Amino acid sequence: TMERTFLMIKPDGVQRGLIGEIVGRFERKGLKLVAAKFMQVDRELAAKHYAEHEGKPFYPPLIDFITSGPVFAMVWEGDNVIALTRALIGKTNGVDAAPGTIRSDYAVHTNLNLIHGSDSPESAELEISNYFAPNELVSYEQTI
């Protein structure tokens, strides 16, 4: 099934200079980039993004962290792109992530885990609309 997913390189990925490395992995896999934005998440957007975690012990540090510096927000499109990008990203904690995944290769921490990826078509749709206006998604043919 053709899907879209919302991916966001978190402040640690930006600070560590890993935008190109991470984006490159999705490009080389052959996925299709349809939107991208370098931006600062404010506390209102952070609360929307992490609404499902409100009340959990890790929620306050999560909000502090995601608003601590710029992020690189993206929309990618493709067949099964949600499961596929989650497989490339790896488990939440870099210590548990499978070798070769982004988090295994570059992260050792649960909060500083470099990148967010939508976990279902429903959350993808919601997250895309939280970060992008409809006209910011580019429609084009991937010819190779």
Report the C-alpha gap between 89 and 104 in whole angstroms: 8
Among 116, 118, 128, 132, binds ligand CMP (CB under 6 A): 116
Instruction: Say which residue the tokens 């499961």 belong to.
Output: 83
Q: Look up 116 and say whether it is catalytic.
A: yes
67 annotated as belonging to a binding site for a ligand? no
- Which lies closer to ligand CMP via its Cβ, residue 31 or residue 89? 89
Among 25, 91, 105, 111, binds ligand CMP (CB under 6 A): 111
Among 113, 124, 127, 132, binds ligand CMP (CB under 6 A): 113
Residue 10 φ then ψ, to 5°? -80, 170
Alpha helix (H) residue ranges in the chain: 11-15, 19-29, 43-49, 59-66, 81-89, 102-106, 121-131
Binding site for ligand CMP (CB under 6 A): 53, 58, 62, 92, 110-111, 113, 116
